[in-house]
Homo-oligomer: A and B are copies of this chain.
Amino acid sequence: MRPLRICIIGSGNVAWALAPAFTSEPDIELTAICSPTPGHAAALADSLSPRPQAVTEIASLPRDADVYLIAVKDDRVASVALEATGLFPATALWLHTSGSVPASALAPAGGGYGVLYPLQTFSKGVQVNLRELPVFIEADSADGLATARRLALAISPIIHEADSDLRRRMHVAAVFACNFTNYFWTVADNILREHPGLDLSVLHPLLKETLRKAIEEGPEGNQTGPARRGDRGVIETHRKLLGDTPESKLYGEVSEAIINHYNKK
């Protein structure tokens, strides 16, 4: 089997995280990286061995790659596909790495299309263990899916097929599990900072242990706190402490949701 030749379009956190996984696979050849910002693609290319080509325009990418992987912000995916229209052979497979953009947004590029979505938040310079990430793949043909799987395997052995509907479901779950929880840590931080010298750091050990328990034992049986106990006295005391604020309203609403959740069981 000749190596799979791929180009990456984008040089942000996702591209930085995935590119080394591709160059370290003998059956994958990362041939080029494209970013419109001068120097960005080159910086990523310089960090890799073997070093791929670095270009600033999609029109400058090699035409003979098997896969063009678009790793740009969600709202830029469709415009990259448009920019590629008519330039590349119809035998190419176009993939994007987004959780919320439909695969069909890539149709204008003129090849096969699909998604390779690694479910993680990447930060430049932070090494995450790719081998434990789930990767969700989708394609408009069986061949495309097989190719997406070959690439996904370079990242992680945990591969799920996911159509746009399933990716949407995961995105909703991730919003609750990560975006909303992160916001509640901000709320807690602000509540603590009203006392001089305190901030969220006093809760760090508790946060770590709460997550460890949720991961090892599942969150549902580990729920604690006044709402779980149905202790409306404490709930009222807490709401009073928060005063007439959006946080107090939110405290009441989430508490009611917890009370309802555990009472309907």
Contact = CB atoms under 8 A, between A and B. Distances in A.
Interface residues of A, number: 79
Interface stretch (A31-39, A52-60, A89-97, A233-241): A233-241
A51 to B, nearest CB: 28
Interface in A178-215: 178-189, 191-192, 194-195, 197-198, 200, 202-211, 213-215
Given A215-B207, A238-B171, A241-B169, A187 B183 contact: no
Contacts of A219: 182-183, 185-186, 189, 200
B182 A254 contact: no
A227 interface: yes
A246 B119 CA distance: 26
Considering residues A166, A238, A242, which has the most beta carbons from chain B within 10 angstroms of its beta carbon? A238
Considering residues A186, A192, A198, which has the most beta carbons from chain B within 10 angstroms of its beta carbon? A186
Contacts of A258: 179-180, 183
B173 A120 contact: no
A103 to B, nearest CB: 16
A172 B242 contact: yes
Given A176-B247, A179-B227, A250-B254, 16 more contacts: A160-B202, A170-B198, A172-B241, A173-B187, A174-B188, A176-B251, A177-B185, A177-B207, A178-B206, A179-B226, A180-B254, A181-B181, A182-B210, A185-B214, A204-B215, A246-B260
22 contacts: A119-B206, A121-B206, A123-B213, A160-B198, A169-B191, A169-B241, A170-B202, A170-B203, A171-B238, A172-B241, A173-B191, A176-B185, A176-B251, A177-B200, A177-B207, A178-B203, A178-B206, A182-B222, A185-B214, A186-B261, A246-B257, A254-B254
